[in-house]
Chain A
Amino acid sequence: MSGISPRRLLALCRKESYQIVRDPSNILIAFVLPVMLLFLYGFAINLDINLVRIGVLRLDDGPAAVSFEEQLRGTPSFEIHHGASLQALQGAMARGEIRGLVVIQNDFSTRWAHGQSAAIQVLTDGSEPNTANFVSAYVQGAWEKWQEARAPLSDGTPVPGLELRQRAWYNPATISRDYLVPGSIAVVMTVIGALLTSLVVAREWERGTMEALLATPVTAAELLLSKILPYYLLGMVAMALCTLVAVVLMGVPFRGSFLVLAGSSTLFLGAALGFGLFLSTTLRNQFEAAQAALTAGFLPAMMLSGFVFEISSMPAPVRLLTRLFPARYFTSSLQTLFQAGTVRSILVPDCLFLALLMAFWITLTARKTTRTLD
């Protein structure tokens, strides 16, 4: 039953390969889509907020107020928009034209001169929480700089004290692209794996060619392998292409070993293709398999893999759930391989989990396949 005849397997693989090559959409999926997506991920998601548009409303003409406004204008991270009134600027914020608003109240200069707490109000657009945090941090920074510049004039020498020095390891310039691109390769490959395999078995059932296949001496193992091997090769080529694009065209550093990369990609593709085949085998309907693959593949890979959203910040049940998705392990392996190098303490558990998931999905699919044979 489970014997494998090399000749039959080869013939089946050849048939599957012809089917892949003859449908141009497969080539599109394996080669064009990954590169396009990778470029989009690399350039569309930029979390280094280096320029925010804010509005400034100065209701005070005193010299202190004017000089603080100049300080804001001189801050390179701000693009200042002028507004005639508070209403006008608030309207601009509702429309999303500006992300923050600094109001210098009319008694600012007087209060500052008397050493009272200064009358400055900062309003941020809370509908974009990440940007809002940056806005208040940047205004705070400009405010502190302005005060420091003025402090020696009012009360003598500045006091030396605590000094915080910040450094980022693995990615010293903290370029978000350098860690987003490896993670997005995992997302892209999840999708490619699911897209490639989720339809193949369902298609045979829908077209009635499965019965013809079952009538031949082909064994379940041969059938399963013939559905995995050609797509695995296609997936590995896509993976190589992604790595090449990331390193050569996008300048993302790669510090690990290519052998380990190939190994973890193999395990990951095994799990992803196994999962796609499982959906295809159980649902037997292209529409349902496609939708299930996309729902269980793309969105979880995007939200639960830790590629943008930090897994350790999620609540415990969700954290546990992320362990079920191969993308999670692949994302962390890729981030480590690209940025830190071959770190055993991360890569070994990742690969073990990937191997486990691969074994799980392929065994499950194999069981489903045998059942339909008798």
Chain B
Amino acid sequence: MLRRLLALIRKELQIVLSNPKSRAMLIMPVVLQVVLFPFAATMEVKHATLAVYNQDSGSASVEVIQRLSRTAAFDKIKLVHSGPELREAMESQEALLAVAIPSDFSRRLLARESAPLQTILDGRRSNSSQIAGAYVTQVVSGYARERGAPATTALDVRNIYNPNLHSMWHVLPSLVAIITTIGCLFVTALSVAREREEGTFDQLLVSPLTPVYIMIGKAVPGILIALAQGLFIAGVAAWGFRVPFTGSLLVLVVGILCYGMALAGIGLFISSICMTQQQAFFGVFTFMSPAILLSGYVGPIENMPLPLRGLAWINPLTHTILIMKGVFLKGFGFSQAWPYLWPLLAVAVCTLTVALTMFRRHIA
């Protein structure tokens, strides 16, 4: 029986890997994504343009502008000379934010009166402009301190696991999980649908293989592909992008395997309820996009409303991202990873069982 199973697995892998085009589809996107996305998926603010509308001719305003221009986040300071010009710079998104200095700014500062300074953020990009606004606040309060505002001592802030808050350290471990999702789901979900369309599924059913073996034969290639893709991305993360790898390599491998099993279960489940490849494709997508949204990768899970937090918790991608971040940044071993591993196994067991019953029903 084992020999037959191996033959089935080999056949499945051959279908996916023998055709150069479909082989390329499993390799090229992964390479492209791992090269591109770490640079793109960042919440940091860089190369931004700051518009300054200076109505003041005093020295204090010049000082503030000079300090702002030294901020690393702002590549360009655009001086505007009228209200409409300011509006135009903001409206066309040329500037991410603007600072307006009133005409009596220097005089009021000298007279030790309260001197207001106006920052205008682009609400269309409120996250980035708020981050940039915080930089402006830092610069201005630094200046205020030097001018003798009440001295406030700074706090001793330490960011553990990622001291300089590199966004890549957060993005790459998450990508290990996100990118492998596509390959594994496709291989498992579309394979049964294809056999159905081509009529070869009936042939498989009349072979001596029992439904359990057919299912294992369909699941294993997907898991192997997930493992290969996951290890590749993890390798690029560790050596190419120099993300520290502090945990156990074994936990990384076990984590990807468990996630592969959960994905294979979901893929086979989709496969078992679809008649055509098109439907299976839609099914994969219907699962995948909410899974990515609810994984905590784009927006934190804590901020979601309660029902969505529940969904996020049963989402295997959520746990896999936490395992990947754990082994990369937090030095996870098995004991720390276990709380995230068992939900993956539970999802795998549930979906594989359901898929199996659906297969059996088809035979009956």
B116–A159 CB distance below 8 A:
no
Q: How many residues of A contact B (CB 8 A)?
A: 111
Q: How many residues of B contact A (CB 8 A)?
A: 109
Cβ of B284: which chain A residues have Cβ within 8 Å of it?
Answer: 294
Which residues of B in the span 3-34 have a Cβ within 8 Å of any Cβ on A? 21-22, 25, 29, 33
Q: Would you call B127 an interface residue if the criterion is a C-beta within 8 Å of the partner chain's C-beta atoms?
A: yes
Q: Would you call A172 an interface residue if the criterion is a C-beta within 8 Å of the partner chain's C-beta atoms?
A: yes
Q: Pick the interface stretch among B150-158, B213-221, B344-352.
A: B150-158
B160–A346 CB distance below 8 A:
no
Main secondary structure of the interface of A (DSSP, over half): helix
Which residues of B in the span 91-130 have a Cβ within 8 Å of any Cβ on A? 91-93, 96, 109, 112-130
Closest partner residue, chain A, to B331 (CB atom): A94
B33–A299 CB distance below 8 A:
yes
A313–B47 CB distance below 8 A:
yes
Q: Would you call B360 an interface residue if the criterion is a C-beta within 8 Å of the partner chain's C-beta atoms?
A: no
From known contacts A161-B109, A302-B292, infer whether A125 and B122 are also in contact, taking CB-CB under 8 Å. no
Cβ of B57: which chain A residues have Cβ within 8 Å of it?
Answer: none
Which residues of A in the span 306-361 have a Cβ within 8 Å of any Cβ on B? 308-310, 312-315, 318, 321-322, 332, 335-336, 339-340, 343, 345-346
Nearest chain B CB to A363's CB is how many angstroms away? Answer: 23
Which of B42, B148, B326, B329 touches A126 (beta carbons < 8 Å)? B329
Cβ of A283: which chain B residues have Cβ within 8 Å of it?
Answer: 21
Q: Would you call B330 an interface residue if the criterion is a C-beta within 8 Å of the partner chain's C-beta atoms?
A: yes
Which of A127, A130, A166 touches B119 (beta carbons < 8 Å)? A166
Residue-by-residue, is B60-99 near A (CB-CB < 8 Å gives 1, otherwise 0)?
Answer: 0000000000000000000000000000101111001000
From known contacts A49-B303, A118-B153, A309-B40, infer whether A174 and B126 are also in contact, taking CB-CB under 8 Å. yes
Per the bound structure, the CA–CA distance linking A179 and B125 in Å amounts to 7
B299–A37 CB distance below 8 A:
no
Per the bound structure, the CA–CA distance linking A137 and B285 in Å amounts to 38
Residue-by-residue, is A245-284 near B (CB-CB < 8 Å gives 1, otherwise 0)?
Answer: 0000000000000000000000000000000000000010
Closest partner residue, chain A, to B183 (CB atom): A291
B160–A123 CB distance below 8 A:
yes
Q: Would you call A25 an interface residue if the criterion is a C-beta within 8 Å of the partner chain's C-beta atoms?
A: yes
A-B contact pairs, 9 of them (CB 8 A): A125-B160, A132-B159, A133-B165, A161-B147, A167-B120, A169-B122, A291-B182, A318-B39, A339-B123
